[in-house]
Structure 1
């Protein structure tokens, strides 16, 4: 069991590693702790923001947006290598992920393929968002990569962890691709070297073709977070959202693994492209996935539909 570092110890750990740290407002007290526990912590998750411009990126990560309140991480690593602290405590960054991956991180073993989204990552991981468009073309400057290396090593050093406690968002939550464009094997080697460790790195698993369960996706689409407090979700939501983003129907900012209003509207538009309409004349498609429209989306974007 590893209790989270105090805000002061967290700040000291980063500075002791040689990082340039920018404290943003009341970051020490800005969190989502009213939504659930914070800790024990077991590792670090690295993300990309799908944004450009340091000031805008930091603001979004601190304040969040209509679909996802901030903070969206603990620190923002901008392209100049600075680490902007925007929150501390529970933050909306990791979301629900694979419990088998969590067990692997705790045991410091090679993570399995993430194919489930039921474990609370916001409770158990430090999160760092990195300023990058996430399109595979936006460059990762040397200063930013060095900061990612130092941030990861700093927290591993304080907790006595190895590089196996540092994962990507794509390792944790099905359907995620971040941080896209980083040579992760090279980054893990850099973190290992900084820590002075020589333990061989476990292989990174090769993802298989995603499978989306239609009945579980329908349940997620029909869930009402306003009543339950927690939206119904699972790995298939993120897979479908990624496809809708690629279709240009859903903004990347709303691709968060929860079948919210934006996702339902995007699915409605896809259904209409497939020739479907609402039950009444002039009424749009309802956005609750059906087998035909979902199968067409899967055929185009590389996932299989099952019931």
Structure 2
């Protein structure tokens, strides 16, 4: 049993475990705390998204849907191992589950069968949605499984928990099957080995010459980044600049118009030339790595 980590401590714990983290705008204050308390926390719960696309999965988990408002977790773990933080506080991920399971997690002992739904889990668990269809066929890349283990180990390390504090949604709520495609005992074994060995960062990767596509959701009003400045300079160099002043680091209408001109230069039209970057046109723009 612990008080929830502050946003900064939470983020730093993940970074110290060697994870690649994307901070989705507003994650630090996005929560469902008005519906009930968050904490004390007892563990980490792992889910699968039943989706495939990273951007759409992140948007869904951030915003939720008509029947279940977001955030639907605290972080989304993509197939490439990147962790997208979407919320901090109470999140709609666990729902009602078995109180006997919660007691077992708190005591860090073997789990009983989850045959009741009588206890609020949103209060007591960190939740991570992992991008996977959950059909038993969609593969789990090694880098994604490693990230799931690292996320879990990071929070266990920060709270002084063992791997027994990590459970799957299937172990909490009757009728749930997630995560499907690996066993929780397999995952807990990996977590235990990480905790025993201490935090180790993966080997550093060579920095690419060009900025990788940050995802369409990155280009939203108010987004401020050196990547946007670098993009704007490339658009000007390609004769597509539509700037009265700049380019600068804040995404705005001039950036959108300039990018739309680039899309048209590539031969796109209609909705394919709406000014919102996509992976194909972005790769051809060759924005220098910032």
Q: What is the match of residue 162 of structure 1?
A: 162
SS of alignment partner, residue 46 of structure 1: strand
SS of alignment partner, residue 173 of structure 1: coil
Q: What is the match of residue 103 of structure 1?
A: 103
Q: What is the match of residue 70 of structure 2?
A: 70
Q: Deviations over 1:142-172 (max 9, x none)?
A: 1100000000000000000001000000000
2:13·2:154 contact (CA, 8 Å) conserved in 1? yes
Map 1:208-227; keep pairs closer than 5 Å.
Answer: none
Q: Kindly state the Cα deviation for residue 101 of structure 1 after the two structures are TM-superposed.
A: 0.1
SS of alignment partner, residue 88 of structure 1: coil
Q: Kindly state the Cα deviation for residue 6 of structure 1 after the two structures are TM-superposed.
A: 0.3
Q: What is the match of residue 274 of structure 1?
A: none
Q: What is the match of residue 83 of structure 1?
A: 83
Unpaired stretches in structure 1, ≥5 consecutive residues: 198-307
Q: What is the match of residue 61 of structure 2?
A: 61
Map 1:133-172; keep pairs closer than 5 Å.
Answer: 133-172=133-172
Between the aligned partners of 1:51 and 1:189, the Cα distance in structure 2 is: 26
Q: Kindly state the Cα deviation for residue 189 of structure 1 after the two structures are TM-superposed.
A: 1.1
Q: What is the match of residue 242 of structure 2?
A: none
Unpaired stretches in structure 2, ≥5 consecutive residues: 198-290
Map 1:1-307; keep pairs closer than 5 Å.
Answer: 1-196=1-196
Q: Deviations over 1:232-287 (max 9, x none)?
A: xxxxxxxxxxxxxxxxxxxxxxxxxxxxxxxxxxxxxxxxxxxxxxxxxxxxxxxx
SS of alignment partner, residue 44 of structure 1: strand
SS of alignment partner, residue 122 of structure 2: helix
Give the total of aligned pairs: 197
Between the aligned partners of 1:55 and 1:169, the Cα distance in structure 2 is: 23
SS of alignment partner, residue 45 of structure 2: strand
SS of alignment partner, residue 22 of structure 1: strand
Between the aligned partners of 1:169 and 1:114, the Cα distance in structure 2 is: 10
Q: TM-score under structure 1 normalisation?
A: 0.63
Q: Deviations over 1:276-301 (max 9, x none)?
A: xxxxxxxxxxxxxxxxxxxxxxxxxx
RMSD over aligned Cα atoms: 0.8
Between the aligned partners of 1:81 and 1:102, the Cα distance in structure 2 is: 28
Between the aligned partners of 2:76 and 2:56, the Cα distance in structure 1 is: 11
SS of alignment partner, residue 4 of structure 1: coil
Between the aligned partners of 2:188 and 2:40, the Cα distance in structure 1 is: 23
Between the aligned partners of 1:188 and 1:72, the Cα distance in structure 2 is: 23
Q: Kindly state the Cα deviation for residue 44 of structure 1 after the two structures are TM-superposed.
A: 0.2
Between the aligned partners of 1:93 and 1:68, the Cα distance in structure 2 is: 9
Between the aligned partners of 1:92 and 1:136, the Cα distance in structure 2 is: 24
SS of alignment partner, residue 105 of structure 1: helix
2:167·2:184 contact (CA, 8 Å) conserved in 1? no
Q: Kindly state the Cα deviation for residue 186 of structure 1 after the two structures are TM-superposed.
A: 2.1
Q: TM-score under structure 2 normalisation?
A: 0.67
